[in-house]
Amino acid sequence: MAALVQILLRNPGDGLALALNRQVALPRTRMLVAGLCGAMAWGAAMGSHVGRAHVWITTIKMPLMLLGTLTLCFPLMQLTVAVARLPLRLHQTLTIGLGGVAVFATCLGALAPVLALFAATAPIPSMASYLNLYLLCAACGVGAGLYSLRALVYGLRAAAPGTKTGWVIAAWALLYQFTGAQAAWVLRPWIGSSYGVDGYWNLQRGLSGNFYLGVGRVFLRWLAEIGVLS
């Protein structure tokens, strides 16, 4: 598994080509395990802001969010492939998708110690510290996302050499980001001030509203607290 992850990070084209050609034993399982480890490390780092039971709760939430998002997006990803007339079968689309998620989660796992340091030392409650942590998470997510796009590009090129895949990659990225943001909203909160755990299991609360309105409300509240909005 370590060798496959190393290839995916250094040269995702070769790594996904090996997985697509089934020259590595159980490639999808190994990528899945690598992604799970990275996602769990990132989730635990976010949970360290509040500590206690929140650590293991967010450790479970993060893999659920990433894999749940891939599950929801997979049918439309394959439909996009069919519309683009790329010669990809279901297992190849799944392999490339898992490769992208594995790279994304592995990068987040590598950044988890940095997040854990800031999360564990941030004061509670403090809107300023929440915003800083949100911005740090967003910056890490963008960086890991861009790196995972590289894996998707090389994966599609390996599976369908000589074809134009730019708009397919763009469609996959937009679809995954849009769906993943809402999945994260449903499973919220990730960073909170409450020391109780009831809110962390309240699915009904998660099903109310959406990510983009919620982020807008948080941002407006922060502007009000620093005096920009009267």
Closest CA to 12 of 164, 148, 165: 148
Q: What is the CA radius of gyration of the chain?
A: 19
Closest CA to 92 of 36, 8, 19: 19
The mean pLDDT of 65-93, rounded to a whole number, is: 91
Reply yes or no on whether the pLDDT at 26 is more than 70: no
Reply yes or no on whether the pLDDT at 229 is more than 70: no
pTM: 0.83
Identify the pLDDT of residue 208: 63
The Cα–Cα gap between 78 and 96 comes to 11
Reply yes or no on whether the pLDDT at 25 is more than 50: no
Reply yes or no on whether the pLDDT at 147 is more than 80: yes
Reply yes or no on whether the pLDDT at 37 is more than 90: yes
Measured in residues, the chain has a length of 230
Question: 200 pLDDT band (50/70/90 cuts)?
Answer: very low
Determine the residue type at 134.
Y
The Cα–Cα gap between 87 and 75 comes to 16
**8 A C-beta contact, residue 182 and residue 212:** no
Residue with tokens 């990528």: 31
Identify the pLDDT of residue 181: 87
Reply yes or no on whether the pLDDT at 8 is more than 80: no
Distances (CA, A) of 18 to 3, 135, 161: 12, 36, 14
Question: What would the DSSP string read from start to end of 55-86?
Answer: HHHHHHHHHHHHHHHHHHHHHHHHHHHHHTT-
Per the prediction, the chain carries an average pLDDT of 81
- Most trustworthy range by pLDDT among 91-95, 172-176, 188-192, 208-212: 172-176
Which of 53-67, 162-176, 196-210 bottoms out in mean pLDDT, i.e. has the lowest?
196-210
